[in-house]
Amino acid sequence: MSNKRKQYSPQFKAKVALEAIRGEKTVSELASQHEVHPTMINNWKRQLLEEASTLFEKGSEANKVEENQQAQIDELYRQIGQLKVEQDF
């Protein structure tokens, strides 16, 4: 018999973590309400707090990634052109 681990959607994790951050209910109450172990809720809460700042950095970071990808594409096209010339010669 295989016991499959239950996997939770990112939306569910965010919802539970936000409830934990609000502090309206204790972690134990949230755990029993959502049938999740309290340690998982604490992990999700910690992860949300640590990565919240990246939500506001998307614009500048996305531009850097896009520029790097475009540079790689340009380099690959240059190499393809060079190989075609060599092959035709």
pLDDT per residue, tens digit, the chain (89 aa), is 567 888 999 999 999 999 999 999 999 999 999 999 999 999 999 999 988 877 777 666 667 778 888 999 999 999 999 999 888 87
**CA 66 – CA 17 distance, rounded (Å):** 31
Q: What is the pLDDT of residue 89?
A: 76
The pTM of this model reads 0.60
- The domains of the chain are located at 7-55, 57-89
HSE-up of residue 5 (Cα within 13 Å, Cβ side)? 3
